[in-house]
Amino acid sequence: MMTPLHKQLLNDYQRNFPLSPTPYQDIATELGVSEIEVINALTELNETDVITRIGPVIPPNRIGVSTLAAMAVPEAQLHDIAQIVSAYPEVNHNYEREHRFNLWFVIIASGAGHLQQVIARIEQQTGYSVMSLPLVDDYFIDLSFRMDLHDC
Amino acid sequence: MIVDVKDRQLLEAFQQGLAISPRPYADLGNRLGLSENEVIERLDRLKQAGLIKRLGVIVRHRKLGYRANAMVVWDIPDEQAREFGRRISSFEFVTLCYRRPRHGAGWPYNLYCMIHGKNRETVLEQLSVLEQACKLSGFKREILFSRRCFKQRGAIYQNAAPLIQPALANG
């Protein structure tokens, strides 16, 4: 069950999390509650997997090289191929989407050579080709947005 | 800005998640041999330089009832992509917008945006508002709703990364 404090933490602290020695105390002061309440609420959100973590979002291609990759695989094999792809530590955000290209994932590697290597190994291991769509221009990468949590 | 080895180690450790305890930056520093002060100063500098785009709680939208997620792709003349991209980005329900290369006849799309909503109907309504306002209706377009999520993890870059790139204004 979500309390008003949970909801405030979720919507108001996706960005500009305090960079101070006592960030949870700072948040508590801003919200008029105690530090332990903030810590408990965030721990609950973390343990129930509502948040994945508190941390930074790093823009693509600033440190390392990344690409968006897609594969078109038969429905019957999708689950197995998705498991193969997900097993790569370089892969994140692996999703099934409704399209002929039905498997979409992001690869992050240390450099262009490493990225090519990962793509080649996935192709070899699965027997299907990987369409690589590296970023050309970024108009907006934020990933924080205001959620309507009234019915949570 | 020069990103040194310590900065990179710090970002790597920080991406694993900040401790939910009273002095989390001190805890982070202890693991790396940095003082609390140094951790905060370095992170502040990385944030100013744009190497940290955002700092805060990272939410699983699906857990909060935002189950519909559409990747919408258009085939727009390259020279107009930036202008359309800017317009699309101004909508609050749009969480990502970028240009990527086309890929042969089977994938002629170059402009992408991501829309999150509680259900498919909401997302489609938002898309229709967006397309009307941005005058996007004449272009070839597809909507790719997500089905299963096989893996969701933050953009944790690899430990092996030897590459240190100077921060340029626009990446």
One domain for residues B122 and B89: yes
Q: Assess if residue B38 is contained within a domain.
A: yes
pLDDT, averaged across chain B: 87
Contact (CB<8Å) A50/B47: no
Cβ proximity of B146 and B78 under 8 Å? no
Clarify whether residues B102 and B44 are in a common domain: no
DSSP state of B97: E
**CB A105 to CB B103 under 8 A?**
no
Backbone phi, psi, residue A95, to 5°: -125, 145
Q: What is the pLDDT of residue A92?
A: 83
Within-domain flag for B43 = yes
Separation between Cα atoms, residue B92 and residue B75, nearest integer Å: 22
Residue B94 counted as domain residue: yes
- Looking at the domain assignment, is residue B137 inside a domain? yes
Per-residue pLDDT, A141? 56
> Roughly what angle, to the nearest 10 degrees, separates helices B78-89 and B120-134?
120
Same domain? B110 vs B69: yes
Integer Cα distance of B125 and B145 in angstroms:
14
Q: Mark whether B43 and B103 lie in a shared domain.
A: no
Instruction: Please tell me the predicted confidence (pLDDT) of residue A152.
Output: 65
User: Can you give the pLDDT at residue B163?
Assistant: 35
Average pLDDT over residues A29-55: 95
Whether residue B98 is found in the same domain as residue B140:
yes
- Dihedral of alpha carbons B151, B165, B25, B48, sign: negative
Q: Which tokens hold the place of A129? A: 């080709």
Domain that holds residue B14: 5-48
Same domain, B42 and B73: no
Helices (H), chain B: 5-15, 24-32, 36-48, 78-89, 120-134
Q: pLDDT: is B50 or A146 the higher one?
A: B50
Portion 72-131 of A in contact with B at CB < 8 A = 82-83, 85-86, 89-101, 104-106, 108-111, 114, 131
Same domain, B37 and B66: no
- Domain extents for chain A? 4-47, 65-133
User: Does residue B155 lie within any of the structural domains?
Assistant: no
What number is the ipTM of this complex? 0.77
What kind of architecture, by CATH, is found in domain A65-133? 2-Layer Sandwich (3.30)
In a domain, B134, yes or no: yes
Number of domains making up chain B: 2
pLDDT number for residue A5: 97
